[in-house]
Amino acid sequence: MIEKKSEALCFGGRQQVWTHKSEATATDMTFGLYLPPQAEEGPVPVLVFLSGLTCTHENVITKAGAQHYCAEHGIALLAPDTSPRGLDLPGEHDDYDFGSGAGFYLNATQEPWDAHYHMARYVRGELLDAAEMAAPGLDMDRVSITGHSMGGHGALTLALRHPDRFKSVSAFAPICAPSEVPWGEKAFSRYLGEDRKTWRRYDACALIEDGARVPEILVDQGLADNFLDEQLRPERLEEACRDTGITLTVRRQAGYDHSYYFISTFIGDHIRWAAERLKA
């Protein structure tokens, strides 16, 4: 069952919010869907935007200014939540970087998270299916993915694991090597257990080292980002991509931080990047 919660006219298109029941999370899930005006004339490609820690579907659709560029390029924007909601599992709401709002786009294997925290499965499957039900005019053969911070990590790992599903991938300030930084170590140890070998399928650098490939990646990273050195580490992604055939462009942006001011400044470039590849 899928239900439209709201709709507003925006740059000639329609910004919608939908809810539906998810088998992957065993909860109701919410997503934002922007349909550009071109969707009235025929199928349009889709860009999935994965948000970061503490966010919901709402952050990007209200703060990034993405709809203007989506309308310009004729591309739909699909924005899911970052975790299951309404469960009240023990400790789920204690920390901003674990549990509620912090699903890390993986499939948990440890109790009690393994019953609900299957965000990789959700994004790869049910989210796209629900969007197609919400708007049958979407061209689900042309889907790209991007994201911010934890969502940048999710975009990279999902694209690397499913290169036939996602036609391009980009990221804003992604957690590039989560197995090696505090955010990732905390989340992975609790969701996946202490065996670090099981972490590798959710670590972009490890996936590349283990043979996963996409043709190219675009990353924007603010140099005034206070998480840059400890948590994000784009240099590790550069090392992993070197000599693999993956063309990586890391644009280091002087003065920009980790906020939506940063994202809104460069979101147009990422939508253009996806649109060019989706229409190729």
Residue bearing tokens 């043979």: 211
Which residue among the candidates 22, 144, 149, 170 is catalytic per the annotation? 149
b/e map 118-140, b = 16+ CB within 10 Å: bbbbbbbebbbebbeebbeebbe
How many angstroms separate the CA atoms of 260 and 280, rounded? 29
How many angstroms separate the CA atoms of 147 and 81, rounded? 12
How many angstroms separate the CA atoms of 177 and 240, rounded? 10
How many angstroms separate the CA atoms of 223 and 48, rounded? 25
Query: Does the annotation mark 259 as catalytic?
Result: no
**Residue 198 CB: number of other CB atoms within 10 A?**
14
Contact 97, 53 (CB under 8 A): yes
Which residue among the candidates 81, 203, 220, 225 is catalytic per the annotation? 225
Supply the DSSP string of 3-64, one letter for each residue.
Answer: EEEEEEEETTEEEEEEEEEETTTTEEEEEEEEE-GGGGTS-EEEEEEE--TT--THHHHHHS
Query: Does the annotation mark 258 as catalytic?
Result: yes
Our measurement of the distance from residue 98's CA atom to the centroid of its chain's CA atoms, rounded to an integer in Å, reads 17
**Residue 169 CB: number of other CB atoms within 10 A?**
29
Query: Does the annotation mark 22 as catalytic?
Result: no
- Closest to 237 measured CA to CA, from 226, 225, 227, 249: 249
Residues 6+ apart with CB under 8 A from 8: 14, 15
Could you list the active site residues?
A: 149, 225, 258
